[in-house]
Structure 1
Amino acid sequence: MSKEKEYRYTKSKGEFEKEFNMHIREMIEMMKNEEVKNNLYVKAVKLSTHAFKRMKQHFNSVDMVVATRTAKEMLKHAVRIGTVLSYDGRINVLYAYRQTAFFLSPDLKTVVTVNRFPEVTYKPLLKNVREGVEREAMLELHFDHLREMERKEEEQIRLILSIEEKVREATEQCAIMLRIVRGGGRKKNIKKLISEQNNHLKIEGRKLFELKIKKRHLCKSLVALY
């Protein structure tokens, strides 16, 4: 992973704080605007350049035609796991087959990337692996965690949208007040109120971001069980 991408997946401080917050803002905007489809039409799927490179790496596909044919054949039997956050902050739809992860665009028309995940890696469940818990039980444990994450994810998105609405209303009201209010002290208090509300939005956005990173780790671990 590049240095730039590493910063996006850590709690950046100092000079990277601004970029980190901007990345979260971009993620939220894309989540609101990207419609995720449910029905995969395999015949229409194409590979991105990056996905083709990964197919060459993992399956020795000699050209785009062979790589696309192999990916489509695997996707016919793949299991949809759910939506995950991509490295560029967009939303991907994850499908799994034979310990291979296919990350598709929200419209399910493009395979964005392909990766192999041969081992369960989700830390809260590694103890179960060491104890020899069977595959079916491990699947259920993973999905229990996934369902709980998705519940929290939905709640957090609703909260963020609610805060955004309040911030928008307060900003409009404060803009009017700033035009008619006299006195530097009162104006300073109004601007402070807007700043506090935006900070609240930033904090809740970080919580959603961290939840999505945790969900990505869980989903990658799930791939190993298919």
Structure 2
Amino acid sequence: MVSLQQNSKPPKRGTIHDSKHAPGLLDPQMTWAQILQSKRVSLMHNVIKESTTSNNNDTNNITNKKTDEWTTIYSHVWKVGNSPHSSVFIDISTRHEDELTVIQIAKQQFPNSMGVIPHREGKRRVLLELAFDDENYIERALNIGLEFLKSKTRILGSHAMPNKGIVRKLRLTHLPLVCEPELLSILKKSLQPYRRILNIGCFREPTTNFFMGPGYAVLDCQPIEGEHSFYDLKHIIDWANEYEHAFYAT
């Protein structure tokens, strides 16, 4: 008869860093659930790379073209601000610099900000809220963003929601298989009668990067005086083109 050892230790389990899918040393640690879950891809505000070309003349007056590639990241933040004036949220979760260093960079690039408030959501997400009393500075934060020269990366801000902002986050299922530009275009037409659209995206299978049907949307449901009324949100929404189809929103 085999006796059980009461003090036996459980088998040693590996961490995500023992896997071939392990993140880099500078990446935030992720759980297995986060690794295996479907990849969320915004169709309106995805990461983009832009190439800018400049002409430099050497000593022989020969024109050399130098191309710089910048990466633009959008801050997908739908939160109420902490200022009676306009404020902007910048998602710095992707940066490897410490928080104080990023705040110093923000102070250099936005010297007219009335202040900054760091916001932490969970273990991985860090947001900076900057407040301004001039719309020109707001536009700069939204369209140029916070720039990191060494890595040629800029992070565009998201405008803070009004004090009584109402945001609805929808999961969309049973979407038809179409190319992403068409998916975005028709989803905009399908959802516009219900509320103002803040973001639309799809989920991709993490290994193959295939779109497999589900998506998501973020709607601004705050009523605005004098604006036309919207329809009440419903579970089954018609696909707004000639293809007779309906998808589900929860």
Structure ranking higher in strand proportion: 2
Greater RCO, CA 8 A, separation 6+: 1
TM-score (norm 2): 0.21
TM-score (norm 1): 0.23
